[in-house]
């Protein structure tokens, strides 16, 4: 096991990249702590899988180095890196039994048969597949196959990290929850570094201690689920995490006041004058309808999702969502929306601006 | 719920039934008719029972043709299937050369059978053919018209040239459908090239391979045109396969009764072998799933 360091890493699928847009991964420095449970979150095509394949060695980065501990593995083969990877679609060797599948990575490395036998038995118990050890892998369900893929990764005791590439995509919803819980438990028990790629925020937030959000080939924020929720570093994080995402409104920010449509919105902190596009961001959870104060809102639709209601509206032509408690009355006189000042974040050109004391 | 009994829908099958009757069943029945009758001319037929069948089943001439046929099909399968897999494995997976190879591979399949025979007939002639003349010039005694072994080699090479593409293309399609993740997982598991073939590529190709083997078996077992054009069944009877012999008997000697009896048995043999083949392959498949 080792800490994984990415130094000046960048990757382009084109042989002669000319502009920034040619890079699937923009230059980045990143450290994955040994034993951490990370989620790599982002929309499709943002470079998550590219980054994962670079770590596992299936792809060689166009520039920069990959370090495992102090060892430079940029040019090492996948097999030398001692990485396990679980793919989006379950990969099992169809014609082998479950037992042979689990033993395969060890047999290829020429391990002692007695050792292999003991390891396979231990892993089968860990992933709960002792009963099906002698069945052919072909006829098993998708979640069982995915467990085998995981088991094949864990069977080697010296794996540096286990990488998951959207592993629950083809799993039934009720099995997803169970597998996720199992993963979390395995992490606690064995302490492997785990990097979990997903575009599902629930998966990311429940699995990981640290969530890494990627957008357009860049890591835009790494933080705990709470940090991502309260202080998104980039408008994409605000928009991508949360259901619905953060409300973003163009506004002029002066000191601790934002001017919007001739109405002043109080902010929780003071800000230096900003250049470029300035926006204020507020989570729907921290908005409330009001009859007397706040910004005028046009309500388009009210969705009742069971535990609360989502009010979809517009403020000065920009979408604003409000989450209201299930019992709260929504009257015709409530034509304004109020924001909690302390929960408002300010963004200049999509990046969060740190505010000072009022 | 009570199901309504209404069998009128069967009438919709009638057109197909009529077409099939005229295209297959009735012609086949005339063959059956010939096989159980004998004639001394004047279109005067009389009942012969299973006489022709008994005669054919114990005929040395037929046994010899059947033996040659089985040997031919076995050699063809033994060469074309592994060669086809090998070619498919080594074909480029994408880009210009992938399309180029596909077109190149498909070319032999597009040539009419008798043209294939003619091409090779000329290509191998020791006096003017490129191959035949070339071999003769470097001192190899090669003449497919009077040496049985040369004739066999020529026919087999011709068939391999003509049909390996089919096996290769089918295998190529099977290989292309394997997701990249399998190869990546194998890399991570440190699988050898042989293991990748044995545990990933071969199992994923088994479906198309079954089709390929079946097609090649049936086709090679019924081969007629190419050897007929190339060697005409000779020298002697050395390349007289079943269908060539059948045509000789039916059209050449006009022995309609024995020929009819024989063609029915020929048909049943192909049907039986294909059925056994298919059943064995599918049960193997089902067993593995369990």
Percentage of chain B exceeding pLDDT 70: 98
Q: Tell me, letter by letter, the H, E, C secondary structure of chain A.
A: CCCEEEEEEEEECCCCCCCHHHEEEEEEEEEECCCCEEEEECCCCCCHHHHHHHHHCCCCCCEEEEEECCEECCCCCHHHHCEEEECCCCCCCCCCEHHHHHHHHHHHCCCCHHHHHHHHHHHHHHCCCHHHCCCEHHHCCHHHHHHHHHHHHHCCCCCCEEEEECCCCCCCHHHHHHHHHHHHHHHHHHCCEEEEEECCHHHHHHHCCEEEEEECCEEEEEECHHHHHHCCCEHHHHHHCCCCCCEEEECEEEEEEEEECCEEEEEEEEECCCCCCEEEEECHHHEEEECCCCEECEEEEEEECCCEEEEEEEECCEEEEEEEECCCCCCCCCCEEEECHHHCEEEECCEEECCECC
Q: Which two tokens stand for residue B71?
A: 């040997």
The mean of the pLDDT values for chain A is 85
Cα→Cα distances A253→A160, A235, A278, A280, Å: 47, 16, 7, 8
A336, A296 contact by CB (below 8 A): yes
The residue with greater pLDDT, B256 or B20, is: B20
- Angle CA(B39)–CA(B51)–CA(B237) in degrees, nearest 5? 85
Q: Does A56 touch chain B (CB under 8 A)?
A: yes
Q: Which of A83, A94, A108 sits opposite B192 (nearest CB)?
A: A108
Q: Using one digit for the tens of pLDDT, what is the confidence trace for A331-353? A: 778 888 888 888 899 998 888 98
Please check whether residue A135 touches B, CB under 8 A. yes
pLDDT at B289: 56
Asked if B190's CB is within 8 angstroms of A95's CB, the reply is no
Residue B198 CB contacts under 8 Å (≥ 6 apart), including other chains: none
Give the single-character DSSP code of B111.
S
Dihedral sign, CA of B43, B48, B54, B59? negative
Q: Are A344 and A282 in contact (CB under 8 A)?
A: yes
Could A58 and B187 be called an inter-chain contact, meaning their C-beta atoms sit closer than 8 Å? yes
Minimal CA separation from A337 to chain B, in Å: 50
Quick one: closest CA in A to B191, which residue? Answer: A108
Fold exhibited by the domain B60-289:
MetI-like fold (1.10.3720)
The reply to whether residue A78 touches residue B199, judged by beta carbons under 8 angstroms, is no
- Would you call B199 and A109 a contact, using CB atoms and an 8 Å cutoff? no
Q: What's the pLDDT score for residue B187?
A: 86
Most confident of A126-140, B70-84, B133-147, B188-202: B70-84
Question: How long, in residues, is chain A?
Answer: 358
Is B290 close to A139, i.e. CB distance below 8 A?
yes
User: Between the ranges A51-65, A206-220, B74-88, where is the mean pLDDT highest?
Assistant: B74-88
Name the pairing type of β-strands A193-198 and A37-41. parallel
Nearest CA in chain A to B200: A93
Measure in Å the smallest separation between the Cα of A287 and chain B Cα atoms.
45
pLDDT at A282: 92
Q: Record the tokens describing residue A284, joined without a space.
A: 């729907």
Shortest CA distance from A154: residue in chain B: B189
Shortest distance, CA A91 to any CA of chain B (angstroms): 6
**Average pLDDT of the segment spanning B8-36:** 88
pLDDT given at position A129: 83
Tell if the CB–CB gap between A149 and B185 is shorter than 8 Å. Answer: yes
Residue in A50, A56, A79 to test binding to B, most B beta-carbons within 10 Å:
A79
Residues facing A258 on adjacent strands:
A253, A265
Q: Residue B88 — very low, low, confident or very high, per pLDDT cuts 50/70/90?
A: very high
Model confidence at B24: pLDDT above 80: yes
B186, closest residue in chain A (CA to CA): A105
Q: Cα(A24)–Cα(A215) distance, rounded to whole angstroms?
A: 10
| Nearest-CA distance B185 → chain A (Å) | 7
N-terminal to C-terminal alpha carbon distance within chain A: 47
Superfamily of domain covering A4-240: P-loop containing nucleotide triphosphate hydrolases (3.40.50.300)
Q: Which residue of A has its CA nearest to B195?
A: A108
- What is the DSSP code string of B6-61? --GGGGGGHHHHHHHIIIIIHHHHHHHHHHTEEE-STT-EEE-TTHHHHHHHT-HH
A152–B189 C-beta distance less than 8 A: yes
In chain A, residues with a C-beta closer than 8 Å to the C-beta of B204 are 94
Note the pLDDT tens digit of each residue in A240-294.
888 888 999 888 888 888 888 778 888 888 888 888 888 899 999 999 888 888 8
The Cα A40–Cα A198 span in angstroms is 6
Torsion of CA A135, A137, A142, A148, to 10 degrees: 100
Q: Where are the domains of chain B?
A: 16-49, 60-289
From B90's Cα to the closest Cα of chain A, the distance in A is 21
Beta carbons within 10 angstroms of residue A274's beta carbon = 16
User: For residue B131, what is the enclosing H or E element?
Assistant: helix B130-137
* pLDDT recorded at residue B167: 94
Residue A1: the pLDDT is 59
Minimum Cα–Cα distance from B188: chain A residue:
A79
Q: Contact B143/B133 with Cβ under 8 angstroms?
A: no
Q: Is the pLDDT of residue B85 over 90?
A: yes
Interval A152-179: pLDDT, tens: 888 888 888 888 888 888 888 888 888 8
This prediction's pTM: 0.75
**A310 at interface of B, judged by CB pairs closer than 8 A:** no
Interchain pair A58, B184: CB under 8 A: yes
Dump the DSSP string for B133-194. Answer: HHHHHTT----TTT-HHHHHHHHHHHHHHHHHHHHHHHHHHHHHTS-HHHHHHHHHTT--HH
Q: How confident is the model at residue B157 (pLDDT cuts 50, 70, 90)?
A: very high
Q: Is A327 exposed, middle or buried, given 0-12, 13-18 or 19+ CB atoms closer than 10 A?
A: exposed
Q: At CB < 8 Å, which residues of chain B contact A?
A: 179, 181-182, 184-185, 187-192, 195, 199-200, 203-204, 288-290
ipTM over 0.90: no
C-alpha to C-alpha distances, A70 to A2, A29, B188, B201, B250, nearest whole angstrom: 9, 15, 21, 37, 83
CB A337 within 8 Å of CB A320: yes
Is the dihedral angle over the CA atoms B230, B236, B242, B246 positive or is it negative? positive
What residues of A are in contact with residue B189 (Cβ under 8 Å)?
A: 104-105, 108, 152
Nearest to A104 among B179, B189, B290 (CB): B189
- Indicate the burial class of B190 (C-beta count within 10 angstroms; 0-12, 13-18, 19 or more): buried
Provide the pLDDT for residue B256. 82
| Most distant pair of Cα atoms in chain B: their distance | 84
Chain A environment of B193 (Cβ under 8 Å): none
Kindly determine whether residue B204 and residue A94, on different chains, have CB atoms separated by under 8 Å: yes
Q: Among B189, B288, B289, select the one facing A108 at the smallest CB separation.
A: B189
What mean pLDDT is predicted for residues B33-51?
80
Q: Is the pLDDT of residue A306 over 80?
A: yes
Which residues 146-205 of A are in CB contact (within 8 Å) with B?
149, 152-153
Residue A139 reports pLDDT greater than 90 = no
* B108-135 pLDDT per residue, tens: 999 998 899 999 989 988 888 898 889 8
Site from B185, B198, B205, B287 to mutate, A interface, most A CB atoms within 10 angstroms: B185
Residue B290 has pLDDT above 60, yes or no: no
CB pairs under 8 A between A and B: 62
Contact B189 A87 (CB under 8 A): no
Instruction: Tell me which chain A residue has its CA closest to the CA of residue B196.
Output: A93
CATH code of the domain made up of A247-353: 2.40.50.140
Instruction: Using alpha carbons, select from A247, A239, A242 the residue that is nearest to residue A201.
Output: A242
What does the block give as tokens for B268? 């049943």
What percentage of residues in chain A have a pLDDT greater than 70? 99
**Token pair belonging to B244:** 């060539």
Q: What is the 3-state secondary structure (H, E, C) of B51-100?
A: HHHHHHHCCHHHHHHHHHHHHHHHHHHHHHHHHHHHHHHHCCCCCHHHHH
Q: Is the pLDDT of residue B40 over 80?
A: no
Average pLDDT over residues A146-153: 87
pLDDT at A156: 85
B35 strand-pairing partners? none
CA of B88, closest CA in chain A: separation in Å? 21
CA A175/CA B222 separation, integer angstroms: 53
Which pair of structure tokens corresponds to residue A66? 């990959």
SS3 of B199, please?
Answer: helix
**A141 in contact with B, Cβ within 8 Å:** no
pLDDT digits (tens, 9 = 90+) for A72-105: 888 888 878 888 888 888 889 988 888 998 999 8
CA distance A265 to chain B (A): 52
CB contact under 8 A, A109 and B190: yes
Of B184, B189, B203, the CB nearest to A105: B189
Q: Where are the domains of chain A?
A: 4-240, 247-353
- B203-245 pLDDT tens trace: 888 888 888 988 899 889 888 888 888 888 878 888 888 888 8
Q: What is the pLDDT of residues A40-71, one digit of tens each?
A: 888 887 888 888 888 888 888 888 888 888 88
Short-list A121, A119, A143, A145, CA closest to A131: A121
Would you place residue B168 in the very low, low, confident or very high pLDDT band (cuts 50, 70, 90)?
A: very high
Count the neighbouring beta carbons within 10 Å of the beta carbon of residue B74. Answer: 12
- Backbone conformation region of residue B42, classed left if phi is above 0, alpha if psi is from -120 to 50, else beta: left
Task: Tell which residue, B195, B204, B196, has the closest CA to residue B175.
Answer: B204
């Amino acid at each position: 096991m080792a800490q994984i360091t990415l130094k000046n890493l960048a990757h382009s699928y084109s042989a002669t990249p000319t502009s920034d847009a040619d890079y699937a991964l923009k230059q980045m420095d990143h450290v994955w702590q040994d034993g951490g449970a990370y989620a790599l979150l982002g929309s499709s095509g943002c470079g998550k899988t590219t980054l994962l394949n670079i770590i596992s060695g299936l792809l060689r980065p166009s520039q920069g180095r990959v370090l495992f501990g102090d060892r430079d593995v940029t040019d090492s083969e996948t097999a030398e890196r001692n990485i396990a990877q679980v793919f989006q679609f379950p990969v099992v060797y169809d014609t082998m039994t479950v037992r042979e599948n689990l033993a395969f990575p060890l047999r290829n490395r020429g391990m002692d048969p007695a050792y292999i036998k003991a390891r396979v038995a231990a892993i089968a118990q860990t992933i709960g597949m002792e009963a099906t050890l002698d069945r052919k892998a072909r006829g098993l369900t998708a979640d069982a196959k995915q467990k085998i893929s995981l088991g094949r990764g864990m069977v080697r005791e010296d794996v540096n990290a286990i990488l998951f590439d959207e592993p629950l995509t083809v799993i039934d919803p009720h099995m997803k929850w169970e597998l996720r819980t199992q993963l979390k438990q395995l992490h606690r028990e064995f302490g492997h570094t785990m990097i979990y790629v997903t575009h599902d925020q629930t998966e990311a937030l429940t699995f990981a201690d640290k969530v890494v959000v990627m957008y357009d080939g860049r890591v835009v924020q790494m933080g705990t689920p709470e940090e991502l929720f309260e202080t998104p570093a980039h408008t994409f994080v605000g928009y991508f995490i949360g259901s619905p995402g953060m409300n973003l409104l163009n506004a002029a920010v002066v000191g601790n006041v934002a001017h919007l449509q001739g109405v002043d919105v109080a902010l929780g902190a003071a800000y230096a004058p900003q250049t470029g596009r300035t926006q204020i961001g507020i989570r729907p959870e921290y908005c409330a309808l009001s009859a007397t104060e706040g910004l005028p809102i046009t309500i388009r639709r009210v969705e009742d999702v069971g535990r609360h209601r989502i009010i979809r509206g517009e403020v000065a032509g920009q979408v604003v969502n409000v989450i209201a408690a299930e019992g709260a009355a929504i009257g015709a006189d409530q034509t304004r929306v109020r924001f909690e000042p302390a929960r408002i974040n300010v963004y200049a050109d999509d990046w969060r601006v740190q505010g000072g004391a009022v | 719920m009570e199901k309504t009994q209404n069998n009128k829908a069967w009438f919709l099958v009638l057109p197909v039934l009529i077409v099939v009757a005229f295209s297959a069943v009735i012609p086949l029945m005339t063959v059956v008719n010939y096989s159980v009758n004998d004639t001394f001319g004047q279109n005067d037929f009389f009942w012969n029972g299973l006489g022709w069948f008994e005669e054919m089943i114990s005929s040395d001439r037929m046994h010899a043709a059947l033996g040659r046929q089985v040997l031919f099909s076995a050699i063809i399968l033994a060469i074309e299937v592994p060669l086809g897999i090998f070619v498919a494995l080594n074909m480029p997976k994408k880009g210009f050369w992938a399309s180029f190879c596909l077109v190149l591979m498909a070319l032999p399949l597009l040539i009419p059978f008798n043209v294939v025979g003619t091409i090779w007939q000329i290509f191998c002639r020791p006096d003017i053919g490129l191959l035949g003349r070339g071999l003769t010039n470097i001192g190899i005694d090669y003449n497919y018209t009077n040496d049985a072994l040369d004739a066999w080699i020529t026919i087999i090479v011709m068939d391999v040239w003509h049909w390996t593409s089919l096996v290769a293309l089918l295998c190529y399609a099977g290989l292309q459908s394997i997701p990249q993740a399998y190869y990546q997982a194998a890399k991570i598991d440190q699988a050898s090239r042989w293991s990748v073939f044995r545990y990933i590529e071969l199992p994923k190709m088994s479906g198309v391979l079954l089709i390929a083997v079946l097609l090649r078996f049936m086709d090679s077992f019924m081969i007629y045109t190419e050897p007929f054009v190339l060697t005409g069944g000779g020298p002697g009877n050395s390349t007289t396969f079943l269908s060539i012999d059948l045509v000789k008997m039916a059209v050449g000697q006009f022995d309609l009764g024995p020929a009819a009896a024989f063609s029915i048995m020929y048909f049943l043999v192909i049907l039986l072998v294909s059925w056994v083949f298919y059943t064995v392959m599918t049960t193997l498949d089902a067993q593995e799933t369990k």
